[in-house]
Amino acid sequence: MTSHQGEKMHVDFVDQTMRDGQQSLWGIRMRAYEAANALPHISRAGYKTVDLTGAGMFTVLLREYAVDPWATLDFLVAGLGDNQVRSGLRTISAVGFAPTPQAILDLWITTLIKHGSTSFWLYDCLFDMQAMKHMVDVVRNAGGQPVPAVMYGLTNVHDDEYFASRAGQMASWEGVESVYIEDAAGVLKPERAKTLLPAIRAATGDMPLEMHAHNTTGLAQHNYIVALESGFQRLHTASRPMANGASLPSTEAMVDIVEYLGMTHSLDTSTFAPVADNFIWAAKAGNHLLGVPAEYDPRIYDHQLPGGMTGTLINQLAAAKMGDRLPEVLAAIPQVRIDLGSPIMATPFSQFVGIQAVLNIITGDPYSMVPDEVIHYALGHYGPVPAPIKPEVLDRILGSKRAKQFESWERPDPSIEEIRGHFSKGISDEELLLRYMMSDEEVDRMIAKGPIRTDPRRSSNNIVNEVTDLIAESKSSTSFAVTTPDFSLKLKRKVSP
């Protein structure tokens, strides 16, 4: 394929291995040492951008492992050299589902930039364009690179013109260098892609376009081809062990396709194998999932569960001793989504729908128990609801005593000075953000734990495995000894009489 000037079309890649790949397959549980040996290879591979972090990753590292997320980010960024590093951000929230004060969002952005994460993909699944434009300006004024996102969903509300017109607005905003199209649930079909993606291309002029699609149905590669044919220049992929299934297409497969189509790219393919080897090791050592191609399941087009939420939901149900009820939850989600006005199924609204489905199943009485976030959503506090909420459902949600308390609610808007007044004097911006967005107890536990682990060789299990493999390979050896200042180990092969 060639451009209108007759030159071969050049395709750039955005690496999602350590962000959406591990979010989709590992539930955002990647720690620094699990990526350590891959960093030098990703660094020199030639990616346009490396998507690396977000508030969700900070939350999991702190709450589940008492690991310092800022130190983790610093280690990863340092290992990526001069690569542009990206993080994601919703327009009105950082951690959790509740709206975050603007002062905290501003500090979050400037602090991430200080730590080397300078690119931000910004999204609002209710397409509150005023809120999106505001956050684009905040990122730009802070010295970052804003990348507004068009979040795709399969509804009766969002047609091609709806998505294309929003993409066109985003492309017109000052400071925007590319627009990002995401199919979080993997429900875009090639037939729809052939009308939607050219419409977005036409509405955005010469603005570079990025394509990000989860391979939940096995059709993402087909949609990437349509995107390339429509004039999209950037593809989001992950190393093969962190790709496919709930994740994105593999970099390895898409590079082959790009070359087959006669296009060029800037990736050094010799980096693919060592990166893959690292994450195969990390998945096995950490008992994480490895990405495998998904079998086609038409139910996905009903529940539209996003790839990034799949692993998290499975982990949460298992923690609540409800792992066996996942099929019930998936079956309940489509009706809940329609009941609530057909929101795009991506964070936070996919979580709202999923949590409400779980509660409906647990109680046996739909909407008798409703989370505060769903009440706020129904009241329009997150932005314009895409379609009318089912009347009887709306009546039940807003008829509760809790809903009456929220009718006059306004988004909190304290200054950063007022927020600092609630914490110890002299703490850093980094610590302030963690204490505000998480809890003092969690931060104290993190501080007490000490420095993060960055060396993958410090696992005793791995040492035992390495010794076992070495002995197995050395059939002629009769003994094996290891000596350090602290201990010595000697193994001797038993010889049969």
The DSSP annotation for 422-485 comes to TS-TT--HHHHHHHHHS-HHHHHHHHHH-SPP--GGG-HHHHHHHHHHHHHH-TT--EEEEE-S
Query: Any residues with CB less than 8 A from the CB of 184 and at least 6 apart, and which?
Result: 151, 152, 214, 306, 307, 308, 344, 345, 346, 350
Q: What are the start-end ranges of the E strands in 124-228?
A: 145-151, 179-183, 209-213
Block residue for tokens 């191609």: 293
- At residue 322, the pLDDT reads 85
Report the DSSP beta bridge partners of residue 54. Answer: 88
Using CA atoms of 226, 228, 229, 232 in order, give the dihedral in degrees to the nearest 10. 110
Where do the structural domains in the chain lie, given as residue ranges?
10-286, 300-406, 459-492
- At residue 273, the pLDDT reads 98
Quote the distance between the C-alpha of residue 179 and its chain's center.
17
Give pTM, 2 decimals: 0.88
Which CATH entry fits the domain spanning 300-406: 1.10.472.90, 2.102.10.10, 3.40.50.720, 3.90.1150.10?
1.10.472.90
State the Cα–Cα distance between residues 207 and 201, nearest whole angstrom: 8
Q: Quickly list DSSP for 160-171.
A: HHHHHHHHHHHH
- The encoded tokens of residue 486 equal 């602290």
State the Cα–Cα distance between residues 429 and 423, nearest whole angstrom: 11
State the Cα–Cα distance between residues 333 and 361, nearest whole angstrom: 10
- At residue 464, the pLDDT reads 59
Report the CATH fold assignment for 10-286.
Answer: TIM Barrel (3.20.20)
State the Cα–Cα distance between residues 193 and 152, nearest whole angstrom: 11
Give the pLDDT of the chain (497 residues) as one tens digit per residue.
655 456 899 999 999 999 999 999 998 999 999 999 999 999 999 999 999 999 999 999 999 999 999 999 999 999 999 999 999 999 999 988 888 999 999 999 999 999 999 999 999 999 999 999 999 999 999 999 999 999 999 998 999 999 999 999 999 999 999 999 999 999 999 999 999 999 999 999 999 999 999 999 999 999 999 999 999 999 999 999 999 999 999 999 999 999 999 999 999 999 999 999 999 999 999 999 999 998 888 888 988 987 657 666 777 788 878 888 888 988 999 999 999 999 999 888 998 999 899 899 989 999 999 999 999 999 999 999 999 999 999 999 999 999 999 999 998 999 999 999 999 999 999 999 999 999 999 999 999 999 999 999 855 555 555 565 666 565 666 676 766 655 666 767 666 65
